[in-house]
Structure 1
Amino acid sequence: MVFKLWVENGVLTPKHLETIEGRLSEVNASTDIGRIPTHISGNYGVFSAAEWKNWTVSFSLYALCGLLPQDDYRCWEKFVLVCRILCKPYITKDDLVSADALLLNFCKSFERLYCPDKVTCNMHLHCHLKDCLLDFGPIHVFWCFSFERYNGAFGKFHTNNKGIEIQFMRKIMTSKFCETLKETLSSSSFFDTLGCLFDDERGMVKLSHTMTDVVKIIKLAFPGSLDYSGISGTHVSLPKAYKISMLDREDLVFLLASYRMMYPSVTLNISHFGEIIRKYPYISILGEKFGSKSDCRKLRSACVLACKVNDHDSCSYDLRPCRVDFYFSHTACIGEKDVTNVFAKVTWFREYQDRYKYGNALQIWFCNKYEESGSSCFMPVERIRSRFSRGITGASKDLMCICPVTRRIISDN
């Protein structure tokens, strides 16, 4: 509705729409996010709900920066920030208060910019969204994306266009039968032979995790929550294929610094560490896959946002973009017990001097300049906040605008 209003009022001209299409075609984003259809000037009226969500959260600020007037852009920025907060898998009451204040400011700004006649009933209902979330829980509980996804899933079923309802039910009943059969076989001697036939994640070591684990893991991605003492490790799924490698002395020193932040109550030194590691090109955290530079097929999901610990001040944190070079598992003696953790070897992008040119919601970083290696280059994978999409900008194409991609959690429990 807002996009249509911009077009009708001439805020976005046909030339602006061409620029937006060009920017969207150059966005580097993970393939599982979904792309905005081409020819946005004619297709925006038929976007699906999921496409509007992707446009709002991941693409719009980069596509619109420098095109919208400053007041219009700041108004839209508030709505984008609200969507990013509410779409998170884990939301606190403080987040809810911030989202409610931003929504109210957005509605006031919209009314001031476009006159009260353009304010819709849904915008009024925004002011009651906080109460709905407090009463019914996170927005994922009652939003309607699942209905749209089911329509898409049904559309992918192969039928002969005769008796479609019966064919749908046969497929559903067959799926339920396979699930029951898998549970039955799990307690028999045939499971090792036949169990792989029911495995949806072939090539991955699939592990279960509880909702308690989910909350703990998500909290570790935020500053002030770096104690790993009670973490079981069931949230990370590793590929079955790996390479054996060895850390040198400098790497062990860097890794020791990471371990000391993870286990602050334990006295550690290099003698507790083994030099052998298992390297992986990608991993899955809580069901979401993260790639690395070492796997060209998943290179788009190798760029992540994480809290970088200052090499000179362990209490100083900054959410920054980095590129994952590879993942590795390492075993160390922690409190007389052998504990295995999964780390990411990362390269941090260098900060651009005018980082907040377009505001906090759309930051600018160098895309081909990096920080020097330090203890922060070895990072526990739990510190990954999210992936991000990026659009290349700058006169020499050496800058990137980054937009965080909302975390997804896929659980069987």
Structure 2
Amino acid sequence: MGWTDATEKKCLLSLQSEAQRLYREGSRDVMRFHMKLDVAVEICKSILKLPLEDLAEPDLGTLVNWIQEDRKRARIINSKEILIVPDPRDAALADHTKTAVLGNQTLSEVKSDMARLLLPSCVGRGPHRPGEAAGGRLKADEWRTFCTVNLPITLTRLWSGDSATTHERRMLKNFLHLVQAVRIASFREISNADVQAYEFHMHAYLTSLLSLYPGIKIVPNQHISLHFGEHLKRWGPVHSWRCFAFERFNGMIQRIMTNSKRT
């Protein structure tokens, strides 16, 4: 993937994020008088799922009318195109970013699979009590094993079978894009084709994230991950420059007594 392709993908992700934001939060004036054609087209394609390819030349006014009608049906705006302010008492329910994805039942299945799983000695162990406060704060290596080994085993079993819902299948596909990106980024040898595959999977993960979980916002770390392919091209496999060694030494330093006490 060339520099131009990577830049185009980042611009597309930014466009999709802006489309999601305006659909949820855009005021009447913004939608009617300041909407850009490319954003309106993106809303109609990715959110309203309209077959715009049938239109010879999309008209901005028509697209905005369609968008506003859909927002009324979704109770985002009222009949006068004024944003409907949610009841503060429902804030916890309205905050999609705090919605549990796995849930206790799925976590129970994950723990059951982990108890039966035998890992080679070269693979770090996952957390002993995932999803529990008593399990403490996870280390980076525990997160990696949990997310790239333990979760894929259980979620593939639960979310790809005949009883899985369409939404569960979409969540699984989204998550596996992230797993594959992390796996590629951890290679001890890496090629240009690997970097292209990493960029593809990371972009696919973030793009589908926006449509799967309405209300979610791309955070800085996720944005930075889109630039990670450039670092892989410049510096090679991450094992020579990642921060695990630094974190390990930080842990050793933190255990050094500095208050003249022996315990």
TM tier relative to shorter chain: 0.5 to 0.7
Structure 2 match to 1:97: 196
- Are 1:30 and 2:129 counterparts? no
Deviation at 1:71, TM superposition (A): 0.4
- What residue identity is the alignment partner of 1:130? G
Structure 1 residues 8 and 126, CA gap change in structure 2 (3 angstroms): same
- Are 1:18 and 2:18 counterparts? no
CA distance in 1, matches of 2:114, 2:206: 27
Deviation at 1:51, TM superposition (A): 0.8
Residue among 56, 61, 67 paired with 2:147: 56
- What residue identity is the alignment partner of 1:35? R
CA distance in 2, matches of 1:45, 1:8: 20
User: What CA deviation, in whole Å up to 9, does each residue of 1:199-258 have, x standing for no partner?
Assistant: xxxxxxxxxxxxxxxxxxxxxxxxxxxxxxxxxxxxxxxxxxxxxxxxxxxxxxxxxxxx
Deviation at 1:79, TM superposition (A): 0.9
Partners of 2:113 and 2:154 within 8 A in 1: yes
Structure 1 match to 2:209: 110
Structure 1 match to 2:176: 77
CA distance in 2, matches of 1:109, 1:86: 20
- What residue identity is the alignment partner of 2:109? T
- What residue identity is the alignment partner of 2:105? K
Structure 1 residues 33 and 152, CA gap change in structure 2 (3 angstroms): farther
Residue among 135, 141, 146 paired with 2:234: 135
Partners of 1:91 and 1:138 within 8 A in 2: yes
Partners of 1:36 and 1:54 within 8 A in 2: yes
Partners of 2:107 and 2:130 within 8 A in 1: yes
CA distance in 2, matches of 1:34, 1:156: 22
CA distance in 1, matches of 2:246, 2:96: 29
SS at match of 1:47: coil
Output the TM-score relative to the length of structure 1.
0.35
Structure 1 residues 67 and 36, CA gap change in structure 2 (3 angstroms): same
Partners of 1:6 and 1:12 within 8 A in 2: no
Where has structure 1 moved over 3 Å in runs of 4 or more?
A: 5-8, 151-157, 159-164
CA distance in 1, matches of 2:136, 2:157: 23
Structure 1 residues 14 and 163, CA gap change in structure 2 (3 angstroms): closer
- Are 1:119 and 2:209 counterparts? no
Deviation at 1:151, TM superposition (A): 3.8
More helix by percentage: 2
Q: Which runs of 5+ in 1 are unaligned?
A: 165-413
- What residue identity is the alignment partner of 2:197? S
SS at match of 1:150: helix
Deviation at 1:110, TM superposition (A): 0.7
CA distance in 2, matches of 1:147, 1:73: 33
Structure 1 residues 17 and 8, CA gap change in structure 2 (3 angstroms): farther
Deviation at 1:7, TM superposition (A): 10
SS at match of 2:110: helix
Written as runs of structure 1 = structure 2, the 5 A alignment for 1:3-402 is: 8-43=98-133, 46-68=137-159, 69-115=168-214, 117-153=216-252, 162=260
Structure 1 residues 116 and 142, CA gap change in structure 2 (3 angstroms): farther
Question: Which 10-residue stretch deviates more, 71-80 or 148-157?
Answer: 148-157
Partners of 1:35 and 1:51 within 8 A in 2: yes
Deviation at 1:84, TM superposition (A): 1.2
Structure 1 residues 37 and 117, CA gap change in structure 2 (3 angstroms): closer
SS at match of 2:120: coil
CA distance in 1, matches of 2:260, 2:140: 30
User: What CA deviation, in whole Å up to 9, does each residue of 1:255-291 have, x standing for no partner?
Assistant: xxxxxxxxxxxxxxxxxxxxxxxxxxxxxxxxxxxxx
Which structure has the bigger radius of gyration? 1
- What residue identity is the alignment partner of 1:38? H
Structure 1 residues 134 and 31, CA gap change in structure 2 (3 angstroms): closer
Deviation at 1:119, TM superposition (A): 2.0
CA distance in 2, matches of 1:27, 1:67: 16
Deviation at 1:101, TM superposition (A): 1.0
- What residue identity is the alignment partner of 1:31? S
User: What CA deviation, in whole Å up to 9, does each residue of 1:135-188 have, x standing for no partner?
Assistant: 33322233221122224555788x898488xxxxxxxxxxxxxxxxxxxxxxxx
CA distance in 1, matches of 2:96, 2:107: 11
Output the TM-score relative to the length of structure 2.
0.52
Count of residue correspondences: 159
CA distance in 1, matches of 2:172, 2:96: 11
Structure 1 residues 66 and 138, CA gap change in structure 2 (3 angstroms): same
CA distance in 2, matches of 1:108, 1:88: 24
Partners of 2:97 and 2:215 within 8 A in 1: no
Deviation at 1:89, TM superposition (A): 0.7
SS at match of 1:117: coil
